[in-house]
């Protein structure tokens, strides 16, 4: 027991100084956070009908999908600025409040509640279907309409919630477009590959189900890879054993680029078709210059493929100093759709806005004229076929 009394002097003073240091660090953190926003206050609350109309946006800014978030934020911000420059909506300015959902359900639920606390009028976010699903009841209960720009799992609309709208083509529509193109291009034996995420597997399963039916090409195999890795050699070997002449990849561009390259290195001579998550110039750069050429993609219309959208790209570049990336256009459109619905409703009341969303007729967005179906999805997925020429995705076939 004496052991403890002997070193009292020295360690005690050390402990004190440590405690002081620790306390000061913690205080500093506390101050830096409370200074911005109140401890758990959930942001500033706009009062009544005076201040700006808040558009909430849940997107991944950290975690495994962190790269897409900034594109979506920029796209949405561009629309907000344009609308504000024209005087806003109902005489009020728009304000975009972005929250990080990290593609994680728990973080997403916290973020959604934060947007509710900030009195968001409409939610214009949603990228990962898995993280968007648990936020539906939160927004729905508060009667906050959701215009979801990117997440497109069928389960989002399967619950038939009154306030949930998708403006991205659904997996079903994309699979139909893929099969239509495969048939048109004379594919005989198609291998379908996904990355085992909700979005990608949805499309892959729906496509596989149609392969092998009358008029459609045969199904070679369906294979899943784990996202985030570098070496897909074993999967490549497994797929090549089934002798496909067409490979449909439904995941994202990072893995897509690696797969295309590794398939070519393994001696694969057939064609590639990729889903809309892979439509990014980086796909071609990762795949390497000769490999990426001639890859086809199922994609809703992008500014790059829409005639007359050069000015949109130019203003995006001028504002953010970078090329627009995946889902920038959909996010841009989500804000415009939301603003249009608020304007038509004449108020920010959730039920009225939802009703005016339902009655939108042929509102022009990038993927074509927008009229919601009874399911609150796009009447026409607007999927077209792009192909890579000189490192860029260009329109190949509009599938009309």
Contact segment (CB under 8 A) with other proteins among 174-182, 221-229, 306-314, 329-337 equals 221-229
Sole binder of other proteins in the list 80, 89, 94, 100 (CB under 8 A): 100
Does 331 sit near other proteins (CB under 8 A)? Answer: no
Does 27 sit near other proteins (CB under 8 A)? Answer: no
Does 75 sit near other proteins (CB under 8 A)? Answer: no
Structure tokens at 355: 């009703």
Shortest Å, Cβ 185 to other proteins: 26
User: CA-CA-CA-CA torsion for 356, 359, 364, 367, nearest 10 degrees?
Assistant: 110
Structure tokens at 352: 């009225």
Contact segment (CB under 8 A) with other proteins among 12-20, 296-304, 328-336, 390-398 equals 12-20
Shortest Å, Cβ 153 to other proteins: 5
Does 15 sit near other proteins (CB under 8 A)? Answer: yes
Structure tokens at 148: 């979801």
CB 372 within 8 A of CB 282: no
Helices (H), 86-170: 105-117, 129-132, 136-141, 154-158
Sole binder of other proteins in the list 31, 41, 186, 394 (CB under 8 A): 41
What single DSSP character describes residue 89?
A: B
Window 251 to 270, contacts with other proteins (CB under 8 A): 254, 257-258, 261, 265-267
Nearest residue (CB) to other proteins, 67 versus 82: 67
Sole binder of other proteins in the list 49, 229, 310, 392 (CB under 8 A): 229
Using CA atoms, how far apart are residues 266 and 284, in angstroms rounded to an integer?
Answer: 18
Sole binder of other proteins in the list 48, 91, 228, 308 (CB under 8 A): 228
Sole binder of other proteins in the list 88, 130, 270, 369 (CB under 8 A): 130
- CA terminus-to-terminus distance, the chain: 87
Nearest residue (CB) to other proteins, 5 versus 311: 5
Find how far residue 103's CA is from the centre of its chain: 10
Window 143 to 202, contacts with other proteins (CB under 8 A): 153, 155, 159, 196-198, 201-202
The residue count for binding other proteins (CB under 8 A) is: 93
HSE toward the beta carbon, residue 196, CA cutoff 13 A: 8
Does 230 sit near other proteins (CB under 8 A)? Answer: yes
Using CA atoms, how far apart are residues 142 and 113, in angstroms rounded to an integer?
Answer: 10
Cα dihedral 248, 252, 253, 259 sign? negative
């Amino acid at each position: 027991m004496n052991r403890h009394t002997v070193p009292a002097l020295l360690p005690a003073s050390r402990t004190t100084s440590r405690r002081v240091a620790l306390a000061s660090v913690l205080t500093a953190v506390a101050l830096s956070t409370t200074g911005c926003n109140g401890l758990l206050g959930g942001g500033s609350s706009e009062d009544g009908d005076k201040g700006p109309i808040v558009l909430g946006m849940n997107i991944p800014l950290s975690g495994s999908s962190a790269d897409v978030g900034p594109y979506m934020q920029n796209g949405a911000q561009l629309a907000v600025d344009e609308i504000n420059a024209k005087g806003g909506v109902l005489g009020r300015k728009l304000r975009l409040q972005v929250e990080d959902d990290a593609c994680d359900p728990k973080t997403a639920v916290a973020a959604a509640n934060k947007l509710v606390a900030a009195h968001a009028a409409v939610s214009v976010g949603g990228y990962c279907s898995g993280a968007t699903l648990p936020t539906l009841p939160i927004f729905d209960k508060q009667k906050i309409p959701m215009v979801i720009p990117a997440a497109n799992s069928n389960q989002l609309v399967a619950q038939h919630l009154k306030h949930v709208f998708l403006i991205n083509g659904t997996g079903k529509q994309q699979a139909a477009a893929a099969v239509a193109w495969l048939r048109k291009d004379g594919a005989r034996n198609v291998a379908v590959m996904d990355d085992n995420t909700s979005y990608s597997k949805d499309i892959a399963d729906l496509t596989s189900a149609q392969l092998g039916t009358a008029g459609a090409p045969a199904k070679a195999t369906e294979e899943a890879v784990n996202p985030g890795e570098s070496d897909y050699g074993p999967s490549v070997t497994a797929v090549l054993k089934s002798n496909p002449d067409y490979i449909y990849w439904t995941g994202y561009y990072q893995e897509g680029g690696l797969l295309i390259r590794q398939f070519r290195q393994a001696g694969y001579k057939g064609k590639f078709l990729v889903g809309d998550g892979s439509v990014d110039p980086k796909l071609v750069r990762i795949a390497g210059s000769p490999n990426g050429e001639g890859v086809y993609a199922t994609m809703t219309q992008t500014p790059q493929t829409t005639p007359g959208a050069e000015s949109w790209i130019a203003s995006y570049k001028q504002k953010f100093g970078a090329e627009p990336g995946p889902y920038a256009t959909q996010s841009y459109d989500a804000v415009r759709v939301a603003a249009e619905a608020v304007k038509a409703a004449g108020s920010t009341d959730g039920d009225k806005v939802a009703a005016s969303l339902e009655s939108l007729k042929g509102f022009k967005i990038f993927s074509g004229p927008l009229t919601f179906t009874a399911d609150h999805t796009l009447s026409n997925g607007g999927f077209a076929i792009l192909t890579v020429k000189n490192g860029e995705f260009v329109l190949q076939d509009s599938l009309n």
